[in-house]
Amino acid sequence: MERPVTTLFMLMSVDGKISTGSTDELDVDRDFPKIDGLKEGLHQYYEIEQTTDLWSFNTGRVQAKMGVNEKEMPAKTPVSFVLLDNHHLTEHGVRYFCARSKQFVLITANPDHPAFKVDKENLHIIYQERISLKEALERLKADYGCGRLTVQSGGTVNSLFLREKLFDYVDIVVAPVLVGGKDTSTLIDGKSIASDRELSALGVLKLTECLPLEDSYIRLRYEVIS
């Protein structure tokens, strides 16, 4: 395979929501720990997260929402981070990930991104005039030795992975909650299929594990077969 083996790893509600609402002020990481019936079992998701691949893919928008543009510099981790970002990260946010990452790869179509002002040995920039996830993943493997990649991005970018057939596995922790709301982000957002000619874009899955966790949480693991 010319690209890394990819796994979509996410926490979602029973109705497929990956946020608690439609605004950036609402977020599962901030809100679930406050809610009785959810906070008790939430630790299991973070414990499983610690066992995922040593290369992690996310987006600048998600990370900006989590406050990396204002946070103090973190300790170094063994994880290499890949972020897709055009304008959400500030220079501070870029330096935050340089401090946190073994290797930090930024994918961007913005020639004026603040990352170009940062001189760090572990910072690598994949600049594309038009974003191609497939080509970016191929470069991750060829240039930086990324063999396996865990994807934890938002619903819109997840949809690009899906439509380009770039997912190999799906690993989902389901929280015992219904969120609702048509404008609340789901596991896969993006453009909807509008005709039967587009059905080849579906991601068909084979269940490999269904594991009940404590406090009514469930872990579902799938292999993508088409």
| Counted domains in the chain | 1
Find the domain containing 166 and state its range.
5-224
Residue 152 carries which side chain, given as an amino acid letter?
Q
Q: What tens-digit pLDDT sequence spans the chain (226 residues)?
A: 899 999 999 999 999 999 999 998 999 999 999 999 999 999 999 999 999 999 999 999 999 999 999 999 999 999 999 999 999 999 999 999 999 999 999 999 999 999 999 999 999 999 999 999 999 999 999 999 999 999 999 999 999 999 999 999 999 999 999 999 999 999 999 999 999 999 999 999 999 999 999 999 999 999 999 9
Is there a contact between 21 and 184 (Cβ–Cβ < 8 Å)? yes
191: alpha, beta or left? (left if phi > 0; alpha if psi -120 to 50): beta
CATH code for the domain of 17: 3.40.430.10
